[in-house]
Amino acid sequence: MIVSKVVRGAVGVAVLLVVAEIAGRTGLMDTQIMPLASTVLAGAAGLAVDSEFLHDASATVEVWAEGLLVATLLAVPAGVLLGSLPKVEIGLRPLIEFLRPIPSIALIPLVTLIAAGDGAMKVTIVVYAACWPVLVNTMYGLHDVDPVARDTMRAFGFGRLAVLLRVALPSAAPFVLTGVRLAASVALVVAISAELLSGGAGGIGVYIIKAGSGYRIDLMLAATVWAGLIGLVVNALLVRAERGLFRWHAARAGVAQ
């Protein structure tokens, strides 16, 4: 069953690559515009040892990780605060509802003017985008605390803070991690978009622009492949972390979008 799944998946990928290759070789697809699949794959393999690209990729990962970290450090406490103080939450909800849909990319022109330096601008944008999933999921997790467990603690004479630390936070933790996972993929998208838009010292987006201006479409696609792989790996790691840390949780909850 599992073997056949893997086999089918491999066949699917292979068929796509072969079809693209044949389309290019028979002239169905203009290789000037859309390079051969083999060229792109070879390019991607070459990028793995290309020091310039590695430098760019690490710049992207750095912005991504920094932004995600700051966003988590900001949004988790804020979410805990809002989630445990319903009155404050009701008051701030309209602001959140208004701020959340603002595409963080739209802030780039503004933040470029305000922020000190290109790196700070990118991190700021990433933080803004990554905050929301973490915040919303943390709040959701705190609402979802089992009232029986909470009341039991209260009945045994534990104070508000003790209940928060011992019941609310542990049971909200899986939601927080889900928020971080969603934020991680948003953050990667935003980091690369910022690079595409404003250039800067380095980054996968910068590399793609450079490749584009040299009409090296094969390299553009090869870099895109790496961007996808990075996204896949990050997501897979965080999914694993979720499963490993919170096995008890999967049985219980549906996750907020």
Partner 1 sequence: MTNTAVRGVRWAGRARGLAVRLWTVPVVVAVWEVAARAVESVYFPPPSAILARLRELWFSGPPARLFLSDAAIADFVPSLGHLFGGWALACLGGIALGVAIGRSRTLAGYVDPLIEFGRAIPPPTLIPLFIVLFKADTRMQLATIVYGVIWPVLVNSVDGARYVDRLHIETARVFGLSRAERLVMVILPAAAPKIFAGLRLSLSLALILMVVAELVGSATSGIGYELIYTQQNFDLPGMWGTIAVLGVLGFLLNSSFLVVERRTLSWHRRAGRKG
Instruction: By CB under 8 A, name the one of 145, 188, 206, 222 that touches partner 1.
Output: 188
Between 109 and 170, name the residue whose CB sits nearer to partner 1.
109
Between 95 and 251, name the residue whose CB sits nearer to partner 1.
95
| Helix pair 51-84, 217-245: axis angle to 10 deg | 40
Whole-angstrom distance, CA of residue 230 vs CA of residue 48: 12
Whole-angstrom distance, CA of residue 153 vs CA of residue 163: 6
Residue 29 binds partner 1, judged by CB under 8 A: no
- Binding to partner 1 in span 226-255, by CB under 8 A: 227-229, 231-232, 235
Instruction: By CB under 8 A, name the one of 23, 42, 189, 255 that touches partner 1.
Output: 189
Between 16 and 54, name the residue whose CB sits nearer to partner 1.
16
* DSSP assignment of the chain: -HHHHHHHHHHHHHHHHHHHHHHHHTTSS-TTTS--HHHHHHHHHHHTT-HHHHHHHHHHHHHHHHHHHHHHHHHHHHHHHHHH-HHHHHHHHHHHHHHTTS-GGGGHHHHHHHSSSHHHHHHHHHHHHHHHHHHHHHHHHHHTS-HHHHHHHHHTT--HHHHIIIIIHHHHHHHHHHHHHHHHHHHHHHHHHHHHHH--S--HHHHHHHHHHTT-HHHHHHHHHHHHHHHHHHHHHHHHHHHHHTHHHHTT-PPP-
**At its nearest, how many Å lie between partner 1 and the CB of residue 24?**
14
Instruction: By CB under 8 A, name the one of 112, 150, 158, 255 that touches partner 1.
Output: 112
**At its nearest, how many Å lie between partner 1 and the CB of residue 146?**
20
Residue 204 binds partner 1, judged by CB under 8 A: yes
How many residues touch partner 1 under the rule CB under 8 A: the total is 62
Residue 106 binds partner 1, judged by CB under 8 A: yes
Residue 95 binds partner 1, judged by CB under 8 A: yes
- Binding to partner 1 in span 32-51, by CB under 8 A: 33-34
Instruction: By CB under 8 A, name the one of 46, 77, 103, 170 that touches partner 1.
Output: 103
- Binding to partner 1 in span 113-172, by CB under 8 A: 113-114
Between 175 and 207, name the residue whose CB sits nearer to partner 1.
207
Residue 3 binds partner 1, judged by CB under 8 A: no
Whole-angstrom distance, CA of residue 23 vs CA of residue 1: 33
Name the residues that contact partner 1, by CB under 8 A.
4-5, 8-13, 15-16, 33-34, 90-95, 97-110, 112-114, 185, 188-189, 192-193, 196-197, 204-205, 208-209, 211-212, 215, 217, 220-221, 223-225, 227-229, 231-232, 235, 257
